[in-house]
Amino acid sequence: MADDIEITQTEETIDTNTAQPTPQAATSLTQEERDLIAAMPYEEARDKLVQAVRALENGGLSLDQSMRQWEIGEALAQRAESLLADVRARLDAAQAQQAQTASTAGTQENLQ
């Protein structure tokens, strides 16, 4: 990841429940860094998350550096969670398919 810190302006979105703008936190991550994280396989995201956490736990970082590590960690954690959720959904679908197949195994329905 790039060592440069690029602060973006705070963006606003509209809360659909209240129709009020809700501020989005500014981030120091560039679009390129967000794209890299979004393309990472689970193992790489997990390993880089561990590195970010260790950097924070070891201390010695400035406030800006700590915030950057935290933002990186948050993005990596979201990526890993997303990948795990996809795997869980595929496993659930496979188990449901297997249960459906098992319920008709050895019956006339299965032979047709």
pTM of the entire structure?
A: 0.66
Calculate the alpha carbon distances from 68 to 22, 56, 91 in Å: 22, 10, 35
CA atoms within 13 A on the CB side of 1: 25
- Encode 8-56 in three state secondary structure: CCCEEEEECCCCEEEEECCCCCCHHHHHHHHHCCHHHHHHHHHHHHHHH
Contact 108, 91 (CB under 8 A): no
pLDDT at 39 over 60: yes
Q: Is the pLDDT higher at 60 or at 105?
A: 60
pLDDT at 34 over 90: yes
For residue 58, how far is the Cα from the chain centroid? 24
Reading the block at residue 99, the tokens are: 């249960």
